[in-house]
């Protein structure tokens, strides 16, 4: 892949519209210029924003269209507009080969449905998964999946999620042998559902893969920094991710109340401000932005709807990195290893 990665971007998705999306693209381009963009959406609006970044003109194409998938639309409604909407066309350009990855900050359910239909799951993968990065007390973020692409998962799904999550961690976290654990309600081998116990047994045998499987973890141990990939079904993963986000916000809200409760504590806050800024940066979701759909024949990244330009730039960098390091091929190679070792990880069809 000698050409710079071309990222197809739904310029209309998200809470803020083209302004933040274009600013994010410009920021990603400033950081690393071997990248180019196709922006889908309202051309006039996009041009107004692009005018602020004259250096971008050489690397941006615009594909005009005025159909936008709303955040409240059902996936089934959105699917009907796969060929007209900015989101659908961005994904379609990955399918046609015109772009290397698609990115949107729009409706997650609609995006998943369109991406599945357009790109299909990779051979050997039964169901795609949604993966994201979370902050930890350790040296690197961790990858958690599935975060809600599926509501129920069987043993094969979990094993495939582990394999895809590990490949993603190698690419995006630069870890040659990521530590992988299954999320459970206890760390003892006997804990949890049969689905989890069976998945653990298969992964324990898969020591030929470039990852270290290390059994179970629990909700309160995730962020300690001793695991790089947390694998779970989409229901529990969604609950865990949102509970972590909600609790972080809850604690920082309490902290804000504490600091504003008296003149004295306000003064204390002013003094501690530079140090507290570190805490803010560490927890800021924009610094961990970019959830990815793994297991499709093509790269699709979801930027958070409320991400700022830093967040959008981070999501774009994640997408470009997956293209440059050919994540899809890495996952395919790992699946081949499984077959070579006569371990079946695809469900009978």
Residues that bind a second copy (CB under 8 A): 74, 135-137, 148, 151-152, 183, 185, 190, 192-193, 218-224, 232, 234-236, 238-255, 257-259, 261-262, 264-265, 267-276, 278-279, 282-283
Q: What's the angle, vertex CA 182, arms to CA 180 and CA 183, rounded to 5?
A: 130
Q: How far is CA 191 from CA 187, 219, 231, 261, in A?
A: 7, 14, 15, 44
Identity of the residue, 173 or 244, whose beta carbon is nearer to a second copy in the bound complex: 244
Cβ 111 to a second copy shortest distance, Å? 14
Q: What is the CA radius of gyration of the chain?
A: 21
The two three-digit tokens of residue 167, written as one number: 């490949």
* Alpha-carbon distance values, 341 to 196, 205, 271 (Å): 21, 10, 60
Q: How far is the CB of 56 from a second copy (least distance, A)?
A: 35
Side-chain half-sphere exposure of 88, counting CA atoms within 13 A: 21
CB 323, min distance to a second copy, A: 29
92 or 135: whose CB is closer to a second copy?
135
For residue 43 the two structure tokens come to: 């051309």
Question: Looking at beta carbons only, is 100 or 141 nearer to a second copy?
Answer: 141
Cα–Cα separations (whole angstroms), residue 269 to 119, 167, 245, 276, 285? 50, 42, 23, 8, 22
Give yes or no for a contact between 105 and 312, defined as CB atoms under 8 angstroms apart: yes
CB of 69 to a second copy, least distance (A): 16
Residue 113's nearest CA partner among 65, 149, 72 is: 149
Residue 298: how many CB atoms within 10 A of its CB? Answer: 21
Residue closer to a second copy by CB (options 208, 250) is 250
**Shortest approach of a second copy to residue 331 CB, angstroms?**
25
Nearer to a second copy, 30 or 266 (CB): 266
Report in angstroms how near the CB of residue 78 gets to a second copy at its nearest: 14
**At its nearest, how many Å lie between a second copy and the CB of residue 249?**
7
From CA 127, how far away is CA 160, in angstroms rounded?
Answer: 8
């Amino acid at each position: 892949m000698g050409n710079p990665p071309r990222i197809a971007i739904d310029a209309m998705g998200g809470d803020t519209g083209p302004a933040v999306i274009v600013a994010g693209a410009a920021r990603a381009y400033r950081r690393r210029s071997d990248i180019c963009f196709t922006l889908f959406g309202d051309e006039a609006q996009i041009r107004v924003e692009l005018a602020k970044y004259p250096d971008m003109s050489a690397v941006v194409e615009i594909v005009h269209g005025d159909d936008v998938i709303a955040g409240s639309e059902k996936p089934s409604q959105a699917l009907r507009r796969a060929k007209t909407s900015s989101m659908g066309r961005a994904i379609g350009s990955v399918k046609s080969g015109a772009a290397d990855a698609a990115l949107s900050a729009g409706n997650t359910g609609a995006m998943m449905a369109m991406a599945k239909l357009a790109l299909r799951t990779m051979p050997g993968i039964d169901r795609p998964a949604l993966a994201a990065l979370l902050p930890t007390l350790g040296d690197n973020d961790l990858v958690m999946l599935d975060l809600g692409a599926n509501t129920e998962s069987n043993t094969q799904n979990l094993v495939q999620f582990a394999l895809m999550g590990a490949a993603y961690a190698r690419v995006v976290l630069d870890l040659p042998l990521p530590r992988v654990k299954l999320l459970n309600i206890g760390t003892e081998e006997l804990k949890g559902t049969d689905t989890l116990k069976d998945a653990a047994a298969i992964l324990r045998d898969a020591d030929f893969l470039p990852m270290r499987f290390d059994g179970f973890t629990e909700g309160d141990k995730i962020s300690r920094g001793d695991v790089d990939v947390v694998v779970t079904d989409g229901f529990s993963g969604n609950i865990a991710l949102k509970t972590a986000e909600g609790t972080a916000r809850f604690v920082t809200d309490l902290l804000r109340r504490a600091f504003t409760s008296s003149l004295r504590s306000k003064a204390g806050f002013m003094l501690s401000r530079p140090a507290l800024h570190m805490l803010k940066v560490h927890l800021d979701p924009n610094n961990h932005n970019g959830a990815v759909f793994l297991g499709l024949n093509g790269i699709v990244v979801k930027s958070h709807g409320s991400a700022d330009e830093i967040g959008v730039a981070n999501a774009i960098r994640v997408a470009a990195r997956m293209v440059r390091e050919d994540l899809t091929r890495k996952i395919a190679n790992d699946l081949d290893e499984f077959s070579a070792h006569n371990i079946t990880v695809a469900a009978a069809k």
